[in-house]
Structure 1
Amino acid sequence: MESNADYICNCADLARTVPETPPTAMPLRSFGRFELRSLLSKSARSLIWRVFDARHGQELMLCMPRDKPNSAPALEHWVRMAQAGARVQHPNLAPVFEVGQVESWPYVAYDRGLGETLDERLARQPAPLPLDAAGWVAQLLEGLAFAHEAGHAHRDLQTTSLVIDAGDKVRLIGLEVAQEVFPATVDFNTVTRRAVRESAEEDVLCVGLLLNRILSGRLVLDESDLQAVVQQMQPNGREIVRLGWETPHPIADPLRAICNRATDRQARQRYHLARSFWRALDGWRQAASHDDGGPIVLLLDRLQRIGHLPTTATGIHRFTAGSGLEAQHASALSELVLKDMALSLELVRRVNNALRQSGHHSADGGGTVLNMQRAIQMLGLDGVQLAANGLKPWPGPLQPMAAEMLRQLMARVTKAGQVAQALRPAGYDAEVVQLITVMQNLGRLLLQYHFPDDAQQIRQLMLPPEPTEELPNPAAMSEQAAAYAVLGCDLDALGAAVARHWGLGDELLQMIRRQPLDAAVHAARGDADAIRLTCSLANELIDALALPEAKRRQGVEAATRRYAKALGVSLRDVMEALNPSAQQPATVSERSDVASTSPGSLRERLSGRGGS
């Protein structure tokens, strides 16, 4: 006669072979002191039962391994690991009611009152909003990251592993239930268990599959057991899991990029840490719901503490030691200041902040000062010196490798500014064009300085995947998609948020938005648009020069074709801008018809002649 303990697994096997029989239709039996109510979940590695505990008069959820530990030492090891996992406390980890065993079948019990499983929630609410789904998974990742960092893994994440209460608080159940199976003769004091990191990476992959399951509204690869899906995915199998386009609700591009990165066919492209996955998902969720959080808020906080960029300025004291501010003196100081991005941006921030506080800043940003000489004249020598003293010296808190990456990025941005000046329409001030070109890269610069690890992740995601027979020429991830997958927002949004925080006005915010790579380039509708497009072209040209040598010429020509009609530039103009030594003096003036013929306050400010 079979024991009650063996009965629970036989019931699970029966449910697997006769899927149309609902779990609640099974005859009620007992497991030790527990009355079996229904089978909530079964997978290749574990079971979850809804039971009634007569001793305490309450319903519980019992999580147990699918296979009984094969020896007394194995059982002892299982209980020891489960108890250690139970001691890990976090708001998103369900508190353990009891760790025990019945006839050598171990279990971990949780209070049923914690809520319903995600499986049950999806049964009655099959199409949750993407923002809600992201919130659930973000909570799961917070708890999972804490468990991983404490040295524990789940190893069998399923839709029933999440418990959601009426207030949408998510808790993870089943930590350390699905443990490794070893031969009965193994010495558990010396055996090397599978590395927690490897198990943790599998957990993170399963969370990506959970997100895909919720957003798509259907089983992934028609499998209810996510472990079966993992075995079919590369590198174990040949299946590719991506979020389809037919979803119950429209999926925002950042959320789609995050979901697809989590299940990418290339293992190296996936999230390896639950914390990294959480940061990207939470960043998007915060931005989408306009909450106080996410990478933008973290960046603004760091700006308050360590500034925007480290200064590379030298010789400022020599220029500010004297008194007076003659035109020649201001011009020489302006030239020196423009060589230092940090100081240039700080002066723009300070002068426009002063204008706003004095009431001279119009609501649309029409009073924005964009010319460096004008900014120096308004702030005075003492103001310039104060700005320089307020900046951290190079390289700030960066480690040598990250500092080198920032130096290289700043060099590319400086080159882009020089190219933009060479290509600018006649009548526009070179200083303003250089500044706008820099600010079109503000998000990239700030990311490299404040979050160098995230910047490195983005660069790695932009590398082309390894070719396969099915995909001999795989496409690389775009910078925007990579930023979405790492941060939950794009880099332009970071730069625009900081510019808005500095109070630079809508006019400038429009100019520092690069032309989207997937959007057609139309003729400039005014002065601001002409500057924006010119700087966008310069930045795209510099990006093209960063391509492998075989693709550089093609990239330069493609960028030129995109802007040729809108800006009236030719490939010859572009090549002369990229190689200044070959530039003809008349190149800029020959394209004077490109600039708008209608004068105005913006034209005067862009030429450096206007006031505040």
Structure 2
Amino acid sequence: MSDAPTAAPSLKSFGRFELRALLSKSSRSLIWRVADPRHGQEMVLCMPREKPNSPAALEHWLRMARGSERVQHPQVAPVFEIGEVEGWPYVAYERALGETLDERLARQPSPLPLDAAGWVAQLLEGLAFAHEAGHAHRDLQTGSVLIDAHDKVRLIGLEVAQEVFPATVDFNTVTRRAVRESAEEDVLCVGLILNRLLSGRLVLDERDLQQVVRQMQPNGRELVRLGWETPHPIPDPLRAICNRATDRQLRQRYHLARSFWRALDGWRQAAAHDAGGPIVLLLDKLQRSGHLPSTTSGLHRLTAGSGLEAQHTSALSELVLKDMALSLELVRRVNLALKQAGHAGETVLNMQRAIQMLGLNGLQFAANALKPWPGPLAPVAAEMLRQLMARVVKAAEVAQDLRPAGYDGEVVHLITVMQNLGRLLLQYHFPDDAQQIRQLMLPPEPTEDHPNPTSLSEQAAAYAVLGCDLDSLGAAVARHWGLGDELLQMIRRQPLDSPVHTPRTDADTLRLTCSLANELVDALGLPEARRRAGVEVATRRYAKALGLGLREVMEALNPSTRRDAAAPAPRVQAATGRVPPPPMPAPPGATTGPVPGGAGAPTASAGPTPAPAGASLRQRLTARSGS
């Protein structure tokens, strides 16, 4: 690309403006710092790189620019003047609004990641508002961003670099398509700006981001990802957000400025501990819609009459555990009551104990406070929640079968459920975000350069969509419910990239047992060819720490093998001389059916077990026979 404009004015003046400095230059637009003698102040002048090729094109340019002038937002710079000089149109802004981002980076080449994310988040707010108003930028550069001394960011140059069409085209028929396609390119350019700020260097050694876009896949062959040699350490969530914005696969990128902003703002709020982000939005949703919808109708019929009085506590406990929403509601109510009564160190996770403490009236109030299935969910989202709940129930059953002797089955059941609390709440309250995360976890299409592409992990996908991980969502809600620090530690799954050490406490044993059950059920959701390998990998990770082998794991995943244990031994395969392995169970929740109601009930063997002497955590979490 030639450094000089192809047909731009070469004089020291442009109409009444005195040209002082060229602030930004790209293949589509120019940005000048000029002096305006009429008003006695400096201005920033934005103009297209190419002159409109007909009077109709000039009229269309001016009409679109004047339309963008009506976009009023704190992060969109107000237009001072729109005009044209000898067929060259321009948009003028007051220089007092700030310096360009290029000028700031010349003075401060390596901003802190939190500052850089704050600048880009402001830019995305203004851009999203402009897109939603039907306007696009089409040439976002670091020179298109003004930033003042207080780090307030404003976007300039809306509708300056308009699409170049033949002189005879009907502009009204192509404008809508051009805006929609250009808006996605704007979002990509913002991702490149974020990469530039975090990496401290030009992307692909190019100043013009339009040149970078042309070299990126799928148009070119270049891959843009944030490197590891950066001026400051980059937190994993911010790295995932940045890399998603410039992903080589079009379907993986952010398509809306608003989605990009939500992820970035969510991370900023979590990093700065501000009152905002997805956690606060979720807590607000909980106030209005509850945590989950009730999945059984029988309990509501009981609460409407006097049927509860005739039920034994153990029978009521079994009935409650069949309804995941009611189980969580009782956990919330009883532990919040304990906290308010000054017993912050005590935690109740046993349904019989919770029912005894709250009484029948409390159980009725809890049941009646729940929304009936499926709440506000559309049918497709409700089916996804049903499948997720079925997987969680299966994991709870597996955890009960794998638990060491002496641990209460109801406690293990509820810890396993609460290790999935963030996933359940996300699917219920933000089903679109949950779908985005699932989409990002799918492996991209293989190409010649990448024959075996890898997919994002759940954590990285959640970072890219929400700005925080799902365990943090669940832990924030559990803390909001008044659950103690010991339980908050137990409901965090073992990280997949961390080794599993031998548990030192009862809390560690419970957490690892439930984590193993959840990983095993996740493995059942893999394609059939990878399912058994996934189960074996999870088993090897926990085998030494929990003293479990593949036989115990397979029996927990497929309980029918235990029932067949007394049957005659299977015939040895003639060809190999080996006993065939037990069949892998089908993925839970994979088939459609009625709303999960009775799937969560523990089996008879999963009832309360007497705690060994000296097990303080077990005594605090389980039922007390004398109460």
TM-score scaled by length of structure 2: 0.90
Does 2:308 match 1:293? Answer: no
Tell me the equivalent position of 1:445: 424
Distance 2:172 2:512 in 1: 66
Tell me the equivalent position of 2:615: 600
- Structure 1 residue matching 2:501: 3-state secondary structure: coil
Tell me the equivalent position of 1:469: 448
Tell me the equivalent position of 1:226: 209
Aligned partners of 1:527 and 1:596 also within 8 Å: no
User: Which residue type is aligned with residue 157 of structure 2?
Assistant: G
Tell me the equivalent position of 1:460: 439
Aligned partners of 2:406 and 2:611 also within 8 Å: no
Tell me the equivalent position of 1:563: 542
Assess, with a 3 A threshold, how the Cα gap between structure 1 residues 324 and 79 changes in structure 2: closer, same or farther: closer
User: Which residue type is aligned with residue 271 of structure 2?
Assistant: A
Deviation track 1:463-520 (CA, whole Å, cap 9, x = no partner) reads 0011111211111100000000000000000000000001101010010000000000
Aligned partners of 1:601 and 1:610 also within 8 Å: no
Bigger relative CO (Cα 8 Å, ≥ 6 apart): 2
User: Which residue type is aligned with residue 90 of structure 2?
Assistant: Y
Does 2:130 match 1:147? Answer: yes
Cα displacement (A) at 1:184: 2.2
User: Which residue type is aligned with residue 239 of structure 2?
Assistant: R
Distance 1:411 1:453 in 2: 20
Deviation track 1:334-356 (CA, whole Å, cap 9, x = no partner) reads 10100111100000100111111
User: Which residue type is aligned with residue 44 of structure 1?
Assistant: S
Matched residue count:
584
Assess, with a 3 A threshold, how the Cα gap between structure 1 residues 316 and 157 changes in structure 2: closer, same or farther: same
- Structure 2 residue matching 1:221: 3-state secondary structure: helix
- Structure 2 residue matching 1:52: 3-state secondary structure: strand
Tell me the equivalent position of 1:3: none
Aligned partners of 2:353 and 2:622 also within 8 Å: no
Tell me the equivalent position of 2:607: none
Matches within 5 A, 1:215-294: 215-294=198-277
User: Which residue type is aligned with residue 418 of structure 1?
Assistant: E
User: Which residue type is aligned with residue 560 of structure 2?
Assistant: S
| One of 397, 402, 405 as aligned partner of 1:426 | 405
| One of 52, 61, 70 as aligned partner of 1:78 | 61
Does 2:80 match 1:123? Answer: no
Cα displacement (A) at 1:103: 0.4
Distance 1:15 1:116 in 2: 27
Matches within 5 A, 1:338-357: 338-357=321-340
Aligned partners of 2:27 and 2:208 also within 8 Å: yes
Tell me the equivalent position of 2:314: 331
Aligned partners of 2:138 and 2:183 also within 8 Å: yes
Tell me the equivalent position of 1:592: none
Cα displacement (A) at 1:185: 2.7
Deviation track 1:177-199 (CA, whole Å, cap 9, x = no partner) reads 00011122333344566432211
Distance 2:189 2:419 in 1: 38
Distance 2:200 2:285 in 1: 39
| One of 443, 465, 469 as aligned partner of 1:490 | 469
Cα displacement (A) at 1:27: 9.8
TM-score scaled by length of structure 1: 0.92
Aligned partners of 2:163 and 2:178 also within 8 Å: no
Distance 2:35 2:110 in 1: 31
Distance 1:316 1:237 in 2: 60
Cα displacement (A) at 1:417: 0.3
Assess, with a 3 A threshold, how the Cα gap between structure 1 residues 11 and 533 changes in structure 2: closer, same or farther: closer
Matches within 5 A, 1:41-440: 41-191=24-174, 194-317=177-300, 321-322=305-306, 329-362=312-345, 367-440=346-419
> Which stretch has the larger CA shift, 312-321 or 113-122?
312-321
Aligned partners of 1:526 and 1:596 also within 8 Å: no
Assess, with a 3 A threshold, how the Cα gap between structure 1 residues 596 and 270 changes in structure 2: closer, same or farther: farther
Distance 1:466 1:238 in 2: 16
Cα displacement (A) at 1:600: 3.1
Distance 2:618 2:521 in 1: 27
Cα displacement (A) at 1:360: 2.0
Distance 2:313 2:104 in 1: 67
Deviation track 1:383-410 (CA, whole Å, cap 9, x = no partner) reads 0000011111111111110000000000
Tell me the equivalent position of 2:580: none
Cα displacement (A) at 1:610: 7.5
Distance 1:482 1:189 in 2: 39
Deviation track 1:413-461 (CA, whole Å, cap 9, x = no partner) reads 0000000000001000100000000000000000000000000000000
CA RMSD of aligned residues (A): 2.4
Matches within 5 A, 1:14-29: 29=12
- Structure 1 residue matching 2:146: 3-state secondary structure: strand
Distance 1:341 1:56 in 2: 68
Percent identity between matched residues is 80
Cα displacement (A) at 1:135: 0.3
Contiguous gaps of at least 5 residues in structure 1 = 1-8, 17-25, 589-594
Tell me the equivalent position of 1:5: none
Aligned partners of 1:241 and 1:264 also within 8 Å: yes
Aligned partners of 1:337 and 1:344 also within 8 Å: yes
Aligned partners of 2:406 and 2:612 also within 8 Å: no
| One of 526, 530, 544 as aligned partner of 2:505 | 526
Aligned partners of 1:604 and 1:610 also within 8 Å: no
Assess, with a 3 A threshold, how the Cα gap between structure 1 residues 319 and 190 changes in structure 2: closer, same or farther: closer
Aligned partners of 1:28 and 1:35 also within 8 Å: no
Cα displacement (A) at 1:296: 0.2
Matches within 5 A, 1:514-593: 514-583=493-562
Deviation track 1:520-560 (CA, whole Å, cap 9, x = no partner) reads 00111110110000000000000000000100000000000
Assess, with a 3 A threshold, how the Cα gap between structure 1 residues 144 and 131 changes in structure 2: closer, same or farther: same
Cα displacement (A) at 1:252: 0.1
User: Which residue type is aligned with residue 467 of structure 1?
Assistant: P
Contiguous gaps of at least 5 residues in structure 2 = 567-602, 604-609
